[in-house]
Each structure stands twice: as structure tokens, then as C-alpha cells.
Amino acid sequence: MAAAAAAGSGTPREEEGPAGEAAASQPQAPTSVPGARLSRLPLARVKALVKADPDVTLAGQEAIFILARAAELFVETIAKDAYCCAQQGKRKTLQRRDLDNAIEAVDEFAFLEGTLD
């Protein structure tokens, strides 16, 4: 009865799980926190790298941001795969051979074969 009254009054209440325990509320990632960065890579350096290409004459801020975000996602993906290779060797520290193993094991990284030599 009290739960129905709390639900009807607009007061938030905890939901109970199947064992009768109160479900812990999951922390939500902030969507718009002042000062939070959308990109971890410095956009000025990404822009300098893009401008170093003689074929590029103009590069908009949106394009620079998308390139920076794509680079972050790429680094995150290859790092996770390399970490899995390190865990197979019972280690927590990434080594160059872990990157080599990840490049050989994952088909999406085939374009990187031979680049670390």
C-alpha cells in the first residue's frame, strides 16, 4: 500500500529484484557536463597532422573532430585486443608482441601487418 502511495505521489522508490532486495540504481553517464571533453585527443594536433598532408587544403572543425574520434576508437579497439593477448600470457602489461599478435589474429587489422617491423 505504501509503495502504491509513493508511486502515485511522484516520490521515487526503489524497485525490488526477484530475491526481494532493493535494486541498486545504476550511475548514468553525464550527457552534458560543463567542461567535459567530447574528444580526448587534442584537436589542434589532429588538425596539424591533417594539414601536413599536401593534398588537404581546407579542413573543417567537424571533420577534425570526426577524425580525432575515429582515431580514439581505433586505439581503444586495438588496445583491447592486444590486452586480450597479454591476458592469454598471464600478464597485465602490454608488450609489442601483444600488438603483433592482435594484428595477426584480427582480420580488421590486416592492413597493419608489417608496419611495426
Q: Could you tell me if 72 and 37 are in contact, meaning their C-beta atoms sit under 8 angstroms apart?
A: no
pLDDT in tens, 47-78: 999 999 999 999 999 999 999 999 999 999 99
**pTM, 2 dp:** 0.63
User: CA-CA distance, 66 to 50, in Å (whole number)?
Assistant: 12
Residue 85 class from Cβ within 10 Å (0-12 exposed, 13-18 middle, 19+ buried)?
A: buried
Grid cell in block for residue 6: 509513493
Alpha-helical (H) ranges within 2-115 are: 2-8, 43-51, 61-88, 96-105
Q: What are phi and psi of 32, to 5 degrees?
A: -140, 80
Give me the CATH code for the 43-112 domain, please. 1.10.20.10
All structural domains of the chain with their residue ranges: 43-112
Q: What is the pLDDT, as a whole number, of residue 115? A: 84
* pLDDT tier at 88, thresholds 50, 70, 90: very high
